[in-house]
Amino acid sequence: MNRLTSPTVVQELMARHGASFTKSLGQNFLIDENILQKIVDASAIGPGDRVLEVGPGIGVLTQAMAQRGAFVTAVEIDRRLIPILSDTLAGYDHASVVQGDILKVDLPALWQEHLEGQPFSVVANLPYYITSPVIMAILQSGLPLQSMTLMIQKEVADRMSAAPGGNDYGLLSVAVQFYCRAELQFMVPPSAFMPRPKVGSAVITLTKLPECPAGPVDEDAFFHLVRAAFAMRRKTLHNNLAASNFGLSRDQVREKIEACGLSPAVRAEALSLQDFARLTRAFYGAD
C-alpha cells in the first residue's frame, strides 16, 4: 500500500513542512489506494517508460509510477510542496521534480533535458482550473506524445469524449479528437480526495493518433474555422461563418457550406471532424 493515500500521513506531512492546501491551485490530493492503482493500470506504463506528471502534489501518483519502473518528471507550481516531494520521493532515483508553471515552462527544453528526447506519456491528477490549457499546450507542442491518462473534472471528461450531436460536444471535443482517441475509463467520487472537491471526477485516456482521423488538413486553418463555427452555439453554421472574417458574402458562405454536402441551417455541434475538415478545405482551399 502507498502510505501517501493515508489521510493521517497526508496531514502529518503537511503539518511537518508547514504547508496547507491552496484552493486557488486546485489542490485535492488522492487518498484512495484502489483508485491510485487503477489510474496507473489505465496508463499502461511500465519499466523504462518516460512520463510527464503535472501537479504531483505530495507525490502519491509519482511514487506509484516510479514503483513500476517508469522514469517520472513531475512539474509542480507550488514551491511549498517541493520540500515535501523531496521527502516522499527520496530513494526513487527514477523520479525528478521541476518547480514551475507548466503553462510557462519551455516544453521542448523540458522534454530534451528531463525526458531525454524520448517518446513519453502524461499521467496526472490535473488541477481542474488548468485542465484544457495544459492538454492543448501539450497536444500542440509537436513533441512525441504517446498518450495522456488524466484524472479531471467529470464534466470536462464528458466533453472531451463526446460524439457529435450531444449536449457535451463542442470545441473542446473537436480539439482533443483532432489529435487523440478519447476513452472515458472510470468515475472517481469526491470521497477519494483530501480535501473533497465539490464536483465529481473521472479518469480519461487520450491516445495520440498518428494523424488526424479527418485526413490531411491545415491545422491552423482547421481550428480557425472550428472556433468560428462554435462562436455562438445556438446560431446556425451559416450565421456563425458569415459573421467571421473570411472576406465572403453571405451567399458565398452558403454556397461553400452546401458544396460540402451540409445544410447552412445545421449547428456546429452536429458536425463531425470530417465535416469540419471538408469545410476547412472549402473555405481555405488548402490541405
DSSP reduced 3-state for 211: coil
DSSP reduced 3-state for 231: coil
The CA-atom distances, in angstroms, between 124 and each of 162, 240, 243 are 21, 36, 39
28 known ligand binder: yes
* Calpha distance 279→276 (Å, rounded): 5
Number of CB atoms found within 10 A of residue 67's CB: 13
DSSP reduced 3-state for 162: coil
* Calpha distance 89→136 (Å, rounded): 29
Query: All 3 cell numbers of residue 61?
Result: 501518483
Closest by CA to 146, choosing from 53, 66, 54, 49, is 49
101 known ligand binder: yes
269 known ligand binder: no
18 known ligand binder: no
Number of CB atoms found within 10 A of residue 249's CB: 10
100 known ligand binder: no
Give Dmax (Cα) for the chain: 69
32 known ligand binder: no
The CA-atom distances, in angstroms, between 219 and each of 207, 226, 227, 228, 257 are 19, 11, 12, 14, 19
From first CA to last CA, the distance across the chain in angstroms is 52
Please report, in range form, the residues annotated as the binding site for S-adenosyl-L-methionine.
Answer: 28, 30, 55, 76, 101, 125
Please report, in range form, the residues annotated as the binding site.
Answer: 28, 30, 55, 76, 101, 125
